[in-house]
Amino acid sequence: MTAVREHLGPDTPLMVDANQQWDRATALRMGRRLEEFDLIWIEEPLDAYDAEGHAALASALDTPIATGEMLASVAEHERLIAARACDIIQPDAPRVGGITQFLRLAGLAHHAGLTLAPHFAMEIHLHLAAAYPTEPWVEHFDWLNPLFEERLEIADGRMMVPDRPGLGITLSEQARAWTTETVEFGTR
Pairing mode, if any, of strands 65-67 and 41-43? parallel
Would you identify the CATH topology of the domain 2-139? TIM Barrel (3.20.20)
Q: How many helices (H) and strands (E) does the chain have?
A: 8, 7
pLDDT band at 40; cut points 50, 70, 90: very high
pTM of the complete model: 0.89
Identify whether the C-beta of residue 88 lies closer than 8 Å to the C-beta of residue 117: yes
Weakest mean pLDDT among 40-44, 46-50, 78-82, 119-123 = 119-123
Name which residue leads in pLDDT, 146 or 25.
25
In the chain, domain spans: 2-139, 147-188
Nearest-5° angle of CA 60, CA 55, CA 84? Answer: 115
For the chain, what's the residue count?
188
Run of H or E residues at 15:
strand 15-17
